[in-house]
């Protein structure tokens, strides 16, 4: 009964997230994985119904996460990191909010739990020279021209990987040197690119993408070797490949490292933090109202004045169509 009951609730929660909440697939997957971890604990503790759960249950669950639980894919490790526990608590709040709205419970026990405090780990940031080394390690082959666009846009636009893979050709305005992207919660924003990004995009679209494109005529900007929209996992591998070519594997940069570097370099260049938040697509109840008072022209002026690759005019490598 226990397994059937909890599994049924989880499936209903899944449907709720997909059709009633404006969330991306990664967020939904995290919520469901965290719910699965919580259900595992409940079954170990011999609970049979969500109505049995109170504040002490959740506190015991958090203690179990810290001391006893075994994270997936990490053999022999006991206990989750503080950041993972904070995320799981956030997922738990979403679950209990759903349970309350759906009348599965009469009171939300997670409201009585203080938010977990995260350890302040600073994000990894590459310096401008390292960024340039990675981008310049691309070659003029068809895949190389595409990969240069990937690296260029990750840094020049501060994109999330999900935003990059979702770009379609018609989202790009070459005259204004800007791209319309869809971020978290399906919120759209405009990101900007400079001359290197412009040149890289033009070279890719004229000398690489036509050879990658299949009969399906996919509108995606970035295509894989099968002519389909490139995956987030492929971009992660591409970043690792060129980090190796630039002898930066010890730094272990990831796609999101380019986004951290983008924001840091803008601030180092004198950009106002509110405009950087707008360009990054960060939103919260506290900051959204501020963003509405910042014009797009102001954001563009700040980008051009502050971002290293908005001004760089280094010529791209010569095009070689023989590969």
Annotated catalytic residues are 160, 184, 256, 259, 282, 291
The set of residues, in sequence order, having a beta carbon less than 8 Å from that of 33 and lying 6+ positions away, is: none
């Amino acid at each position: 009964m226990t397994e059937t009951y909890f599994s049924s609730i989880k499936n209903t929660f899944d449907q709720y997230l997909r059709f009633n909440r404006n969330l991306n697939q990664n967020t939904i997957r995290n919520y469901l994985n965290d719910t699965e971890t919580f259900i595992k604990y409940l079954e170990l503790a011999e609970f049979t119904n969500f109505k049995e759960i109170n504040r002490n249950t959740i506190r015991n669950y958090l203690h179990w996460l810290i001391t006893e639980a075994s994270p997936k894919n990490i053999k022999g490790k006991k206990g989750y990191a503080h950041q993972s526990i904070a995320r799981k608590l956030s997922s738990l709040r979403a679950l209990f909010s759903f349970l309350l709205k759906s009348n599965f419970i009469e009171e939300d026990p997670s409201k009585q739990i203080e938010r977990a405090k995260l350890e302040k780990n600073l994000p990894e940031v590459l310096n401008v020279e390292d960024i340039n080394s990675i981008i310049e390690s691309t070659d003029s082959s068809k895949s190389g021209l595409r990969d240069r666009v990937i690296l260029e846009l990750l840094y020049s636009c501060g994109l999330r990987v999900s935003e990059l893979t979702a770009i379609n050709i018609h989202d790009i305005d070459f005259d204004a040197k800007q791209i319309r992207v869809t971020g978290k919660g399906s919120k759209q924003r405009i990101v900007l690119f400079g001359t290197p990004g412009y040149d890289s995009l033009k070279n890719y679209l004229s000398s690489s993408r036509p050879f990658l494109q299949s009969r399906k005529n996919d509108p995606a900007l970035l295509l894989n070797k099968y002519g389909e929209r490139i995956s987030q996992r492929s971009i992660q591998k591409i970043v690792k490949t060129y980090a190796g070519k630039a002898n930066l594997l010890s730094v272990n940069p990831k796609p999101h490292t380019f986004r951290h570097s983008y924001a840091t370099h803008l601030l180092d260049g004198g950009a106002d933090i509110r405009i950087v938040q707008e360009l990054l697509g960060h939103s919260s109840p506290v900051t959204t109202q501020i963003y509405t008072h910042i014009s797009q022209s102001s954001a563009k002026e700040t980008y051009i004045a502050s971002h290293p690759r908005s001004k760089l005019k280094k010529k791209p490598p010569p095009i070689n169509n023989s590969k």
